[in-house]
A and B are shown apart, each in its own frame.
Chain A
Amino acid sequence: MRIFKTRAARAITAAVAVGLIATGCASERDSDNESGGKKDTFVFAGAGDPGSLDPALASDGETFRVTRQAFEALLEHESGGTKLVGGLAETWSSNDAGTVWTFNLRKGVKFHDGEAFNAAAVCANYDHWFNWKGTYQSSAVSYYWQTIMGGFAKNEDPETPEANYKSCTAKDENTAVIEVKQPSANLPGGFSLNALAIHSPKAIKEYEKQEATAKGDAITYPKYSQEAGTVAGTGPYKIVKWNKGNKEVTLERFDDYWGEKAKIKNLVFRTIDTEEGRRQALQAGDIDGYDLVAPADVKTLEDQGYVVPTRGVFNLFYVGMSQSANPALKKKEVRQAIAQAIDKENLVKTQLPEGGKVADQFMPDTIEGYSKNVKQYPHDPAAAKALLKKAGAQNLTIEFCYPTEVTRPYMPAPQDLFELMKADLEKAGIKVKPKAMKWAPDYLDATEAGSCALHMLGWTGDFNDGYNFIGTWFAGFDKQWGFKDKKVFDAVNAGSKMGKAEERTAAYQKANEVIMDYLPGVPISSSPPAIAFGKNVNPPNVSPLTQEVFAEASFK
């Protein structure tokens, strides 16, 4: 026992010593983080790793959050807004048909590798994408090029859309002219996409030496896109390290940046895949900001002194209906009954962050093309019951899929939203068969394939054009909805080929009215997603398009 006592005493002493050392280290950590004016690293946590350091190969927000700091496109959106402004092009114009786009480029711009930015560099990029071959032509790799410009110089798959891109000409050192075959609603908005940001021509020559490869559906991205060193843009930060093991990408201020220099020297994006983990890391002082804040946490964080701005409304949350999954949905009365059964006001009031709005059509009211004359379907369980009776569907049983373990900017708590909607539908006499599925790939695959009679999804706009919303869903037959209606498709596509924005706006308004008369699904809400920052942070202007520029951020 004597031995035990002495050993126990030693053990306790050792534990206290370790504790004291640990506390000492923690104090050091804290002082590093909070020494006013000395802090030169801003750490921001996202929910997932980027997929690539080359934005041209990406289509996801986590990748663009990183690459947007290092790469700039010809056009950008105004800070904190949705209006198109000059980016690498100071001014731009198009011919009346909207097929020839002339960009007057900014002078004195340098790439991170020292190369000069000019019209030849712009054309080198567009021609590089247009001439992609092999795996690069997979829509998983070149989604945005295909969305904006169609296919390639030589399509290798008959399912690849026909190329709309025609040519790029360097008229002089600072004037680039891009020609397309047909006017498109995706232009000029598409020129602002980070996926079409301009890379150094020297880097592009390196890119061209490497191939993306595919085996089955697994795509191996080229090496240059998986490590810092080769990629070079013109942005206020340059990418210096991608530590995949530590799940972080490090960027450093680019001192030769043409515009206002970044206020903080180092910018680090780290991945913390749970919402709670991100919140706790902010509260522990380990990070300076994070995205996808749960609406329930907003007030708590604000009360604790954190800065929690909300983005402008630029998304849409809807209940989709697949007519091929449940033939009862082919009857308009049934679709209308579902629309009138759901209490949207209650969903917005109880589940969405402050500033959320009830949606009455498939685009938010912040988009040009929103119509005030769409048919309304107010919440009315009695009317819903009557409609079901009229349709002979009093005993309607319907499968309702919802995703688990996911939070989207437009859909903060899917399961809670589902439960409320289920209760609403049951009040109207509809029997709901719930089907919970993992977000990726199960849920996304099932909804895309049209196997879920009812499901919940949404969309955050890429740029301010109505077609970016309604064209995404209703430009033609889509398995997700499982219907063919020429009137709807024609109305949606009418605006897509118009060169002038004002003409498109009128066409989109008409299209919204046609869509809501047909009622393919139920638009539920548009909501402003929140983003959180540390107490000592002056945050960047938050963007409705989730396109924050972290060069604007600083420490107090």
Chain B
Amino acid sequence: MLRLVVRRLLQLIPTLLGLSVLLFLWLDRLPGGPASAILGEKATEAEVARINRALGLDQPVYVQYWRFLKRIVELDLGTSTQTGQPVWDEFVLRFPATVELSLLAILIAVAVGVPLGYFAARNRGGWLDVTAVSGSLVGICIPVFFLALILKGIFAVQLGIFPSYGRQDTGINATDVTGFAVLDGILTGEFDASWDAIMHLILPAVALASIPLAVIVRMTRASVLEVQDEDYVRTAEAKGLKRSVVRSRHVLRNAMLPVVTAVGLLTGSLLSGAVLTESVFSFGGIGSFIRTAIDGRDYPVLVGFIMFIAMVYVLINLLVDLAYSLIDPRVRVH
């Protein structure tokens, strides 16, 4: 197990190195170079030269790349041109919100999607199966931002059950420990703050969960249908094992392997793709920050974000591999 973890962590190095080269080349190849990208159309030659000197772009390419790499290793991602604050500080400030949102969304998707997909497969052709299959199609078809607007309109504006925006109510005055609002409330004993944060998370998380939920339902259903016809399942049934044991240990467990892979990939995409949902609910996470960074050509933020997300993807894949080895002992052997 330790070897697996170490091996996967070592894989981070070539992945990030490759990505750093791509990013460096992208920045270097921007029309007019990074200085023109920063200064825009108003740039004069003198200003471009000044920025080039300030950013060290008048140095040879290998020196520039080495400095670029060194800064990334030191987590010095530069300063956001929008906020004037270090990029790393901005990430630390905003990423917990997106992590909380994405985790709850994937939790909802798994908690609802796996049982739904499983029972749909068990009752193939029945009303539940038809409902699950067509419902998941609708889930994939509805744009997330549209669903978010509908949920907000009904449950926040009309019914007033959930808050319409933000991460926490103004009057909560919660203590900030880790930046994870739900966790902080638990750590400090301010349970009202945790509950308030959960209430703020529900609508955006449900909206964000719609596509992963649909994918998980379909994948679980297909996987269970495939596994339940396998010889070893028939053998287990023939041996006289209890139905519940056959279903949980042989069918569901084996059917979960592709679902776990999908969950890993979906979690990664949620972390980097919650832009529209965050925007609808003014959630203040990394998604909306990146959107304004793209609009504002905030290259230090974009570079940092891409490197950061790549790291997160690799770590999620590591967790997926670990989960694999727990579900299927053969993975540990190989």
Contact = CB atoms under 8 A, between A and B. Distances in A.
Interface of A: 1, 3-4, 7, 19, 22-23, 25-26, 29-30, 32, 41, 43, 49, 51, 214-221, 226, 243-248, 250, 266, 268, 270-274, 277, 280-281, 283-286, 405, 438, 440-442, 445-446, 448-449, 451, 479
A220 B79 contact: yes
Contact of A285 (B160, B195, B297): B160
Nearest to A3: B244
B162 A22 contact: yes
A313 to B, nearest CB: 30
B301 to A, nearest CB: 10
A25 B86 contact: no
B54 A280 contact: no
Contact of A215 (B55, B169, B280): B55
Nearest to A272: B282
13 contacts: A29-B169, A49-B83, A215-B55, A216-B35, A218-B78, A218-B80, A218-B81, A226-B85, A248-B170, A280-B153, A286-B156, A441-B296, A441-B297
Contacts of A217: 38-39, 51, 81
A270 B200 CA distance: 15
Contact of B162 (A26, A51, A273): A26
Interface in B112-130: 115, 119, 122-123, 128
Contacts of B86: 220
Contacts of A270: 166, 170
Interface size class of B (residues with CB under 8 A): 35 or more
Contacts of B297: 441
A441 B284 CA distance: 21
Nearest to B97: A245
Nearest to A283: B157
A217 B54 CA distance: 9
A219 B84 contact: yes
Contacts of A479: 42
B43 to A, nearest CB: 8
A150 to B, nearest CB: 22
B54 A216 contact: yes
B165 A286 contact: yes
B152 interface: yes
B179 interface: yes
B40 A449 contact: yes
Interface string B92-135: 01101100000000000000000100010011000010000000
B45 interface: no
Contacts of A1: 123
A274 B279 contact: yes
B171 interface: yes
Nearest to A223: B85
A22 B161 contact: yes
Contacts of A32: 171
B41 interface: yes
A220 B160 contact: no
Interface string B255-292: 00000000000000000000000011110100010000
A228 to B, nearest CB: 13
A273 B284 CA distance: 10
B160 A284 contact: yes
Contacts, number: 141
B8 to A, nearest CB: 31
B163 interface: yes
A284 B25 CA distance: 48
Contacts of B281: 277
Contacts of A226: 85
Q: Which of A3, A43, A245: most chain B CB closer than 10 A?
A: A245
B199 A25 contact: yes
Contacts of B167: 245-246
B282 A218 contact: no
A446 B43 CA distance: 10
A85 B181 CA distance: 45
B41 A446 contact: yes
Nearest to B86: A220
A277 B148 CA distance: 12
Question: Ordered nearest first, which 7 A-B pairs have the shortest CB separation?
Answer: A445-B40, A284-B164, A449-B42, A218-B79, A449-B41, A218-B81, A272-B282
Contacts of B296: 440-441
Contact of A245 (B96, B163, B244): B96
A451 B195 CA distance: 52
A410 to B, nearest CB: 21
B163 A284 contact: yes
A43 B128 CA distance: 46
A281 B165 contact: yes
A522 to B, nearest CB: 23
B170 A41 contact: yes
A438 B41 CA distance: 14
B295 interface: yes
B332 to A, nearest CB: 32
Contacts of B119: 4
Contacts of B284: 245-247, 271
Contact of A221 (B39, B84, B179): B84
A220 B295 contact: no
Nearest to B243: A3
B136 interface: no
A504 to B, nearest CB: 31
A284 B156 contact: yes
Given A274-B279, A281-B164, A284-B164, A221 B85 contact: yes
Given A245-B94, A245-B96, A440-B296, A220 B84 contact: yes
A273 B288 contact: yes
Given A41-B171, A246-B168, A273-B282, A286 B300 contact: no
Contacts of B97: 245
A219 B84 CA distance: 5
B50 to A, nearest CB: 9
B164 A280 contact: yes
Interface string B132-161: 000000000000000000001100110111
Contacts of A51: 83-84
Interface in B165-214: 165-171, 176, 179, 195, 199, 202
Contacts of A221: 84-85
A49 B279 CA distance: 14
Interface in B54-74: 54-55
Contacts of B288: 273
Contacts of A220: 79, 84-86
Given A215-B78, A218-B79, A244-B93, A274 B282 contact: yes
